[in-house]
Structure 1
Amino acid sequence: MPTTNSPIRIVTAVILDAQQRVLVVRKHGSDTFIQPGGKREPGEAALQTLARELHEELGIVMDPTSAVPLGIFEDAAVNEPGRRVQGESFLVQVSGTARVQAEIAELAWIALQPPHGVKLAPLSARHTLPAAHAALVKAGKAE
């Protein structure tokens, strides 16, 4: 059983459009954008969680064969004061058009590198998006 001191464990997605902008979402009641994703259900593997969350929150379908692991990162949680969040992040491809549903209030397509133009969660700004940029550079798909 997790304690209030243990990090909130989530799985997050980095989804790029044709212009290499990144999809971020803002939940109802929050002013901060985060990577889409969420908490694992019991018995779920990371990519099962990600596929489920992307479908529930945005109505899109993830291609599990496209997933590139970016790492596991930890930082301050934006929606639960005093807590930390640990995100296992993947660069993924999806089909369908993302739309706001479930607990999502807004979505935005932002630059992969700063300035992002929105208030971004520390986990995304400091860890996930830099890791995604590094992976794209390594693959020869970014400058």
Structure 2
Amino acid sequence: MGKMNTSVDTLVKSHIDKLALILINSHRQQLVARSYDKAVFYTPGGKREPGESDKEALLRECIEELSVDLLTSTKTPATIQLFGTFEAQAYGKSEGTMVRLSCFRVTPRDAELELEHMVKASEEVEELKWIDSSFDREKLTVTGIMILDDLKRKGLID
């Protein structure tokens, strides 16, 4: 029994909580990003800093990674809505280290579409790419694959 409890404790301690932006363009493609020296793309976002709400952290991360303020950059008044939560083995981390990704979308759709032409890679990001469900799964994180499959299943991307 002791070993089982230890591994459960380890799993609880090895949990990365992140926020991510799901942005879908006019061509029904999802935005993904790739950091320098990384082989895979991820859903843009990151971790909360102490005292930040989910939305504050997401806004800050999108300014840092995508060079855009989700709420003030668009002509159409925008809000941020929770889309869903995805959990999987964390990319590049030791076995059992899980990542929980709370994903958000910008609404209304008009505001989301305006962002399509505004996002650009910051110094933190080597490459941004718009992808559909035919994208090579080997080039995505596990949560990235789960999100892509969910978007396809819901008819949001091609």
Which TM-score bucket, shorter chain as reference? 0.7 to 0.9
Kept in 2, the 8 Å contact 1:68–1:90? The answer is: yes
Give yes or no for contact 1:75–1:123 (8 Å, CA) kept in 2.
Answer: yes
**CA drift at 1:131:** 3.6
Question: Per-residue CA shift, 1:25-81, capped at 9, x if unaligned?
Answer: 011121010000000011111111111101111101213943231222210111334
Alignment partner, residue 126 of structure 2: 105
Structural mapping, 1:1-143, within 5 Å: 5-63=13-71, 65-82=78-95, 83-92=97-106, 93=112, 95=115, 97-111=118-132, 113=133, 115-117=134-136, 119-126=139-146, 128-133=147-152, 137=155
Structure with a larger share of its residues in helix: 2
Report the structure number with the largest CA radius of gyration: 2
- Select the structure that is richer in strand: 1
TM-score by length of 1: 0.79
Q: CA RMSD in A?
A: 2.6
2:85 & 2:157 partners in 1: Cα distance? 22
- The share of aligned pairs that are identical, in percent, is 28
**Superposition TM-score, scaled by structure 2 size:** 0.73
Q: Pick closer, same or farther for the CA change 1:12–1:30 going to 2, 3 Å.
A: same
**Number of residues paired by the alignment?**
135
